[in-house]
Structure 1
């Protein structure tokens, strides 16, 4: 493997996915105390990012699953999930006991995490396509492997931040409010920056 290509892949991933660490930390905080939540979050993250890679690789070879004009509308996914989370927070605002009881299935679902990951990284497809198209099959394989390894590291970083005592305390207290706010903000930014609905 070419070390230069590995370095470029690592740099490209870090620059295009830095905001994902905050989202992952919120997901891990939301899943705290729920059985198998870490596994669901990690699987969802890999699934969402794999979909980004498939779309980017396909587009680099000339096939597109989504027309470029449709990408801004991916913002509807995190926006809808954020509104749903906000509604659930509003419904349980008076509950003394948090619904997160140890051992219960709950927390983020695989497809929710995947949808947010894909929508949040939808604009990354536009960055990855020209890189993949000019890199050639060998270098594209290196990019894909490095990206997938870094998705795992991103998951570890998100879990790490979510379990630091100070951060965990803040997320435990405010995470139920932060999660919908962040998802709604991500969805709105994707819609506005992409010019969806003539915004």
Structure 2
């Protein structure tokens, strides 16, 4: 029974957070310019955002919703706005840095901040709350502790995976050259998808 619950927790975390690995790789790719401090900001931001998801799910499972279901799709505005901001910043740095260094190379930046990573993690995992709440409620207090513990370990594994991909020579070179463009595109895409699939515009994807 214990192993079954453990396996269920591992499987649920992997399935509901698979898309986070790409985002983490992009964040770690940007953070690499700032060494260990930049990497730690990404890790702390990922944990902060995911702890918020777990807190909302736990409270929801105990019968007190933090957010009405109708408000969850609008979390997509967070990555959407952050993507627009990142795109504007990349364009401005490229425009201001023309003639400084190699063509096509972005200027040194501070990399993603803790709150930026946390906001994207929370927004991207907002729909996970709807999955976690009923599972936590059925699992009971003991089962909920197992899920939370496994999920927190899973965040560390996901961070290591994202860091691994970001430091592979070919991937790292691609992220260094194109990450400042790819990141805003991915964030805007995620935000738009959350808004559409959540029915924020009055209709949901696939609902023809």
TM class, shorter-chain normalised? over 0.9
1:74 is matched with 75
Shift of 1:2: 1.1
Following superposition, the deviation at residue 93 of structure 1 comes to 2.2
Could you list the structure 1 runs, at least 4 aligned residues long, displaced by more than 3 angstroms after superposition.
none
Deviation by residue 1:68-88 (Cα, 9 ceiling, x = unmatched): 000000000000000000101
2-side partners of 1:15 and 1:116: how far apart?
18
CA distance in 1, matches of 2:14, 2:181: 27
Question: 2:6 touches 2:146 (CA, 8 Å); kept in 1?
Answer: yes
* Aligned equivalents of 2:47, 2:24: Cα separation in 1: 12
1:99-110 correspondence runs (5 A): 99-100=107-108, 106-110=110-114
1:49 maps to which residue?
50
Residue 99 of structure 1, CA deviation: 2.6
**1:144 & 1:116 partners in 2: Cα distance?**
20
Contact 1:32 1:100 in 2 (8 A): no
| Counterpart among 148, 156, 159 of residue 155 in structure 1 | 159
1:93 matched to which residue of 2?
A: 94
Secondary structure of the 1:81 match is helix
Q: Name 2:206's counterpart in structure 1.
A: none
Contact 1:41 1:110 in 2 (8 A): yes
Q: How many residues matched?
A: 195
| Alignment map for 1:141-152 (pairs within 5 Å) | 141-152=145-156
Q: Which one of 112, 125, 128 corresponds to residue 129 of structure 2?
A: 125
- The Cα shift of 1:3 comes to 1.2
5+ residue gaps, structure 2? 204-208
SS at match of 2:107: coil
Q: Are the equivalent residues in 2 in contact too, given 1:78–1:187 (CA < 8 A)?
A: yes
2:67 aligns to what SS in structure 1? coil
Question: After superposition, what is the alpha-carbon deviation per residue over 1:21-56, rounded to whole angstroms, capped at 9, x for unaligned?
Answer: 000000000111214011110000000000000000
Equivalent residue number for residue 177 of structure 1: 181
Instruction: State the distance in 2 between where 1:119 and 1:50 align.
Output: 12
Contact 1:60 1:129 in 2 (8 A): yes
Distance 1:93 1:33 in 2: 16
Q: TM-score, normalised by structure 1?
A: 0.95
Offset from partner CA, 1:62-116 (integer Å, 9 cap, x none): 1011000000000000000000001011112242343327xxxx11100000000
CA distance in 2, matches of 1:165, 1:48: 29
The residue number in structure 2 matching 1:29 is: 29
Unaligned runs of 5+ in 1: none
